[in-house]
Each structure stands twice: as structure tokens, then as C-alpha cells.
Structure 1
Amino acid sequence: MAPIGGTAKTKKGILERLDAGEIVIGDGGFVFALEKRGYVKAGPWTPEATVEHPEAVRQLHREFLRAGANVLQTFTFYASDDKLENRGNYVADKISGQKVNEAACDIAKEVAEEGDALVAGGVSQTPSYLSSKSEAEVKTIFRKQLDIFVKKKVDFLIAEYFEHVEEAVWAVETLKTSGMPVAATMCIGPEGDMHGVTPGECAVRLVKAGASIVGVNCHFDPATCLKTVKLMKEGLAAAKLKAHLMAQPLAYHTPDCGKQGFIDLPEFPFGKILSRWDVHKYAREAYDLGIRYIGGCCGFEPYHTRAIAEELAPERGFLPHASEKHGSWGNGLSMHTKPWVRARARKEYWENLLPASGRPYCPSLSHPDNWGVTKGDKELIQQKEATSEQQLKELFNKQKFKSKVVA
């Protein structure tokens, strides 16, 4: 197969690309995309599909590559041993964390060879941290995944999806022992992490821990994420520290989110999706802010990634292969049989359209649950056993009192 989005020449590393001012496009949200396709269970959000359905993971990697991504993250989100056995999850016992992580690396590396893409091994926050386990215990969990990434020779590492900067720092410190470049992204908004550490201070701590690339991912929409990265950029400048900036937001509208982000909204995890045109705007604003690692997280599908690549095609000098079947700003609609649809084949139409919800009397904003629990709280102590009916009953009763969504 011919390489996608590049040539067969020796691939440049992540820092070599960013240092040269190149735009790096990350892929999208695998757990959400594969849940929609029937390969991931909503709730645990764990990646056993790498072993159970490798063809599905391989195809999604290939679609993101074709859409313009030149970083493929291993599908190792929530693939730590403690998460794979949390609340009745069978994966740790029946498959093993090692097999899940190894398969993820093999699949990503195979597809990356089809284009000019790098493979990033990723770790994320752990149930052990939320249960107040020690620094040594949490770092041991990260190290198990890291050992596999080193053995499989991924190109660089990402510590992503951290609500607490303390745990993110522990992850970066662990990953940095490999000698590979490390990126670190937190799932925080402008208010900072769950213990009140500001975005600027979070960025400073991550860079001091060894991260060469810092930013945010998940939990918030593009507009909110870019506000947060701007605060990180300002914090680094004030501390006289340098790092490349990275953004991988949700593909959902979340203007109503509080500190906890998307997971606090009643619609989570089945929310209000961004259009491809929203993503064009995000890509341009991210670029103008100085961010050069631009991607997506939960909700991002290949067509969203294609929108990033198409918006930034003038700067990159080429379009992704997927644009062969997509006219710029809908201009393919000029071939439609109906005249009123042909009239939509222009940028001005899609930039100025205010989409309707389709639901009669639908409110414009959601009311966040705002339970206010975080690391160290009794309700966040994790367990190996499946959630009991009594535990669920107690939660249902609390939800009725807190959110009043269900009578």
C-alpha cells in the first residue's frame, strides 16, 4: 500500500517536527468511536478490543490516518492493570493488561507504516490514584505499561487524561525514565485541576517533571480547551519555561460545563456533537494561538480530523487522502440533484448556520450534576468487585436529589 500523507523516507521524530514548526495532527477518540461501533462498553471504557476485535481497531487507525492524522496513539487508554479489574471488569483476569497493551502497540505500528505517522504510547489516570494509593504504587502501574512501550519501540509517549496534576507529574516522571520524548495533557478547564491548581501552574509542573509538550485533552469543547491552553502558555512564559503546546478537545459542545467537565453533564456520554465546520474553526484558532500539535479526543471521528487537515492544508502544503471524497466547505453539494441543496455548496452558508436541536422545547444549556467529589473522597474509593445493586440504589437516590433529571 502506498504511504498516506507522506513519502517512504525516514520519518522525523515528534520533537524534530515541532521544532521545525510543522503542524502535527493527532487522531481522535477511540473509546467513543469504537463504543458507537459496538466494540467498547460505555462505563469501563477499556480497550480490550485490541485483542478481541483487532480488525476494528486497525480499521479505525487507518481511517484517522487517511483523514490526515500523523500521530496514531496506541489504543491503551485506561489499559492499566487496576482499571482492567475495576468494578467487575473481566479483562485483567481473562486477557491480561500485558496482552491488551502489546496488541495495541502492534496494531498502531502496523498502520503507521502505511503513512508518515508516528506511534505514541499513552497512559492515563488510574483508579489507584483516586483511591489514594501511594506515589510508589501508582508509578508501578504506569511502569508496567511503559515497559511494553519500550519493548515495542513506539516513537514517543503521552500522559493524557489527568484531572489532578500530582498524578500527571507522577506519570511524566515515570515515562521520562525511558529517554523518549514525553507529552502531557490534562482534562481540565480554565478553573484548573480538581484540587484548584491553575492551568498555568499545571503546565509549569509538567515541564519541570520532564514533559516537552503540554496541553489539554478531553472533558471540554474546543473553545474551552483553547482558553485553558492559553492560560498554560501564559504560565510557562511567566516561569520562563519553553514547551510545545498541544490540544485534543472533545467533539461535543460543553458551554454549560463546570470544573468537572463533560462527565458532569446529564447527557454524558451521549452528548451534543460538533459539526465538521466547528472543527474548522477550532483548528484555525488553535493554530493562531501557537499550538502545533492539534488533534481530538472523545467524540472525534475521522471526518473531524479531516476538517483539521483541510483547514490547515495551506500551511501544511497538502490535503489528506480522505479529501478526495470531500469538497472544501461542502462544495461537493454542487453536484446534488436538488437546487436548494446545491445552494449550500459554499463556506459562507456553513459558517453562518445556527443548527437547530431537533427537539421541541429543548433547553439551550444543561444543568451539571456537580457532585463535587474528587480524589480522597469516600465515594471515589474503587473496588475490584462489580458495583452492587445496593450501591447503585444509593447512587440513583442521590442523583434524584442532586440533578432532578429523573423523577
Structure 2
Amino acid sequence: IGQRRETRTIFKRPGDGGYVMQLERRGYVKAGHWTPEAAVEHPEAVRQLHREFLRAGANVIQTFTFYCSEDKLEISGNVSNIFGAQINEAACDLAREVANEGDALVAGGVSQTPCYVESHSETEVKAIFKKQMDDFLKKDIDFFIAEYFEHVEEAVWAVEVLKTSSKPVGATLCISPQGDMNGVPPGECAVRLVRAGADIVGINCHLDPLTCIRTVKLMKAGLENAGLKAHLMIQPLGFHTPECNHTGYLSLPEFPFALETRAMTRWDVHQYAREAYDAGIRYIGGCCGFEPYHIRAIAEEVSAERGFLPPASEKHGLWGAALGMHTKPWVRARAHREYWEKLLPASGRPKCPSMATTAE
């Protein structure tokens, strides 16, 4: 990707919904709005998250610009004195500052717009993406990510705009194996995105990692059947969502304030990273619910392929090796991979239902 490296494997930190959810939990973002004005109002909070993900092993620092279109900011009503250009430029500066502290690229992110659902005007929607793109190009980001699209048509419009620049473009949809909100199958979605010019295609958010892998595999098959090639990427939820289907975790009664009991363990993420890598996916990361230790788990799982471990892994070793020095013998017995791979974690909550009744 980009001019800085001929070949590389990208392992991305959660830069969209993941940032929004983390910053909401820390008191910097309002739930429901999920807009990124914290890049201007609380840059130290965003900068610290960037550094945590970089230290955990991220190769890409994505700008904290999720939902940063003027129409979304206006609807949210909580950023009357902060405009999209201010957020975009501040977010680019923060991402570049931290990326330069390590060996990381900067990705400028755009996402779905309220305008698409309201008007379906290609001209209006593309004008929004063009405005965001121009802000990013002023800061010379390394590549673009068009993410969190429920309708492939809107994602195609985003790709077409972003490809007018000289930058590579990745495009991800927040869809299930059943397809986008109009029923377009994942394979066809991938074909449309690549034909629009996307260099990388994949899935992000809404569903758990193994479900998202299934969807990316369908996209891969669609590209192969069409004789097209593109890199594959994946940024799933950091939560277990077995009850969900088309609409994803938004339909869970726990969304958004009681999702902690659904959190993926780092050992779940090891499994996910291995399955994603074995499926041919080389841009592996996470979205809502992914924390730095989850990204560290990805980096540790594929450390042999990458050729190194991240700084955050230096103290404890792989698979809990440091537990071998514990004073309790039953804890020392957990200092190996087999224990954690076979573990069936308990929720610890009395009367916990194994599943929830969704709002669908």
C-alpha cells in the first residue's frame, strides 16, 4: 500500500466504531450521535488511543473521522461550533503525529451519510465525499478507507470519488453473509467495489469476527468467479453476536451500554486472526469493542508471518508464558496455548441467559 513500502501485511487497529465506542466509555463521545468532535475538543484522548494501538502492533493509524460528514454533524446537533473540515484536519494531524512514532501508515476514513438514505442523490452524496477527500489530501494521508456502508451503491459512489485522487482505496461494508440492505449478495458487492476502483475490499462492524470471515470468503469467491483481484480486509466487532443476522448488534438489547459481557477474549481474537489469515485476508483488524489488547493478540498470533512482536508483548510473552513463574501451581498450569484454546469462559453473571431476544 502506498509508496512507502513495496509489500507488507497490514494489521489495523480499530479506527472507526472502535474509537467511537472507546471514547464514549471514557466520556468524550456521545452515544447515539457517535460523531468524532473529540479530535478537536479532546485531542489528548484521541492521541493516547492512537499510541496504545500503535504500541499493540497496529501498522495503520486511521483518522478519527467516523460519521464526519456535514449532514451527519448537523443532524447530531452537538457540534454547532465545530465543522467537518476542522475535525478532518485535526484528526489527520493526530494520526500522522502518532504514526511517525512508529512504522505506521495513515488512512483517511469516510463512512455512510444520512444524505444517501434521505435523497439517494448521487450528486449530493458524492459532493460530501469530495469535500472530505479534499480535507485529507491537504494532509497527504497514505490511503483512503471507505467504511461502514450498509448499501453497496453508496460505497461504490465513495470509491469512485476517492479514486479521483492518486491514493489507494479500501472499501468495507457492514453487511452479513445475506448481503447488503437491498439484498445484494457479498460476492456481487465485492465485484461492484473492485470495478469502481477499490484496491482492497472487505467487511467491518455489525457482526462478530467469525461471521465476518464468512462474508469476506463470499466476497473473495465472487471476485474469483468474475476474474477480478483485490486485497481482502476485515474489521469485525469485538463482541459475540450469535443471535444477530442482517441488522447485526444494533438489534441486541444490550446495545450500546451493556455489551461488556459479550466481549471477545484475547484468545478468541487469536482464533479469529488465524482463521482470517488462513482465508487469505491480509488486512486484519477490528471495529467496535476492539481494544489495544485485542490488536496485540492479532499481532502475536501472526508474529511468525510478520517476523516480530509488538512492544506491548515484550513483558508477558506468548500465550501467558509469564504465568509459569506464578506461586500457585494451578495458575502455572495455564502458561501454555492448549489451556487457553480449550477454555470455555463463563460469564460470571448469575441467571445469565445464553442468548438474548433481539429487536428484529
Per the normalisation by structure 1, the TM-score is: 0.85
Q: Whole-Å Cα distance in 1 between the matches of residues 331 and 73 of structure 2?
A: 48
- Correspondences of 1:75-154 after superposition (within 5 Å): 75-87=64-76, 89-91=77-79, 93-154=80-141
Q: Whole-Å Cα distance in 2 between the matches of residues 228 and 326 of structure 1?
A: 34
Task: Please name the residue that 1:346 is paired with.
Answer: 336
Task: Please name the residue that 2:327 is paired with.
Answer: 337
Which amino acid in 1 is paired with 2:180?
D
Equivalent residue pairs, number: 354
**CA shift at 1:343, angstroms?**
2.1
Q: Whole-Å Cα distance in 2 between the matches of residues 53 and 263 of structure 1?
A: 27
Q: In structure 2, do the counterparts of structure 1 residues 86 and 55 end up closer, same or farther at CA, with 3 Å as the change threshold?
A: same
Q: Deviations over 1:155-192 (max 9, x none)?
A: 00000000000111111111111121000000011000
Q: Whole-Å Cα distance in 1 between the matches of residues 231 and 352 of structure 2?
A: 41
3-state SS of paired residue (2:171): strand
Task: Please name the residue that 1:49 is paired with.
Answer: 38
Q: Whole-Å Cα distance in 2 between the matches of residues 357 and 287 of structure 1?
A: 28
Q: In structure 2, do the counterparts of structure 1 residues 358 and 14 end up closer, same or farther at CA, with 3 Å as the change threshold?
A: farther
* Residue 27 (structure 1) aligned with residue 13 (structure 2): yes
Equivalent residue in structure 1 for 2:58, among 47, 56, 69: 69
**CA shift at 1:309, angstroms?**
0.4
Note the residue ranges of structure 1 that are not aligned, 5 or more in a row: 1-11, 371-407
Which amino acid in 2 is paired with 1:23?
T
> Mean alpha-carbon deviation: is it higher for 356-365 or for 115-124?
356-365
Equivalent residue in structure 2 for 1:37, among 26, 40, 43: 26
3-state SS of paired residue (1:207): helix
> Does the aligned pair in 2 maintain the 1:15–1:181 contact within 8 Å?
no
> Mean alpha-carbon deviation: is it higher for 146-155 or for 127-136?
127-136
**CA shift at 1:246, angstroms?**
0.4
- Correspondences of 1:383-398 after superposition (within 5 Å): none
> Mean alpha-carbon deviation: is it higher for 165-174 or for 266-275?
266-275
* Residue 283 (structure 1) aligned with residue 273 (structure 2): yes
**CA shift at 1:102, angstroms?**
0.6
Equivalent residue in structure 1 for 2:317, among 324, 327, 331: 327
**CA shift at 1:46, angstroms?**
0.8
Q: Whole-Å Cα distance in 1 between the matches of residues 228 and 20 of structure 2?
A: 34
* Residue 182 (structure 1) aligned with residue 172 (structure 2): no
**CA shift at 1:360, angstroms?**
2.2
**CA shift at 1:15, angstroms?**
9.4
**CA shift at 1:268, angstroms?**
1.3
**CA shift at 1:311, angstroms?**
0.4
Which amino acid in 2 is paired with 1:57?
V
Per the normalisation by structure 2, the TM-score is: 0.96
> Does the aligned pair in 2 maintain the 1:14–1:118 contact within 8 Å?
no
Which amino acid in 2 is paired with 1:25?
F
Q: Deviations over 1:303-333 (max 9, x none)?
A: 0000000000011110001111332111222
- Correspondences of 1:293-372 after superposition (within 5 Å): 293-370=283-360
Note the residue ranges of structure 2 that are not aligned, 5 or more in a row: none
**CA shift at 1:68, angstroms?**
0.5
Identical aligned residues as a percent: 70
> Does the aligned pair in 1 maintain the 2:187–2:218 contact within 8 Å?
yes
Runs of 4+ in structure 1 over 3 Å off: 14-17
3-state SS of paired residue (2:179): coil
